[in-house]
Amino acid sequence: MSNSPETVFDKIISGEIPCHKVYEDEKVLAFLDIGPLCPGHTLVIPKERARFLHELSDSSAAAIGRVLPRIARAMLKATGAESYNVLQNNGSAANQAVFHVHFHIIPKIEDTGLGLKWRPLTLIPEEAQRLSEVMRAELEQD
């Protein structure tokens, strides 16, 4: 575990707080959100304690990536939904409320689910060039 403060998710992982478990393996736990945006709203969390996605180990990230599609299929079957969102927030400004990495799988049924206003900007070529160069250089160092 990292030096991050304990969260409600740590207490759910340890069994101190009960949950409506959907899936569990050695690295991942998935359970129904107690404040769902729609019936079937599921949280998928790593058992590794990390506040933000970029702090998560490759092995925990891979474990989550492996099960997200399976959990989404199970949620679709259970709810009858045909559409859904996968949401993952990092930091207070990005609406993260629990500071332990977690993914929301949120069914979209009628008027329930995630509401989203998309306000696209224009990609400026010079800025795109700069950003892509910095990101490639960073990724080469990993």
Q: How confident is the model at residue 110 (pLDDT cuts 50, 70, 90)?
A: confident
Active site residue 102: yes
Query: Out of 41, 100, 102, 104, which one is annotated catalytic?
Result: 102
Question: What are the domain boundaries of the chain?
Answer: 8-116
Per-residue pLDDT tens for 55-103?
A: 999 999 999 999 999 999 999 999 999 999 999 999 999 999 999 999 9
**What fold, for 8-116?**
HIT family, subunit A (3.30.428)
Residue type, 39: P
CB atoms within 10 A of CB 37: 17
Q: Are 21 and 29 in contact (CB under 8 A)?
A: yes
What is the reported pLDDT for 1? 47
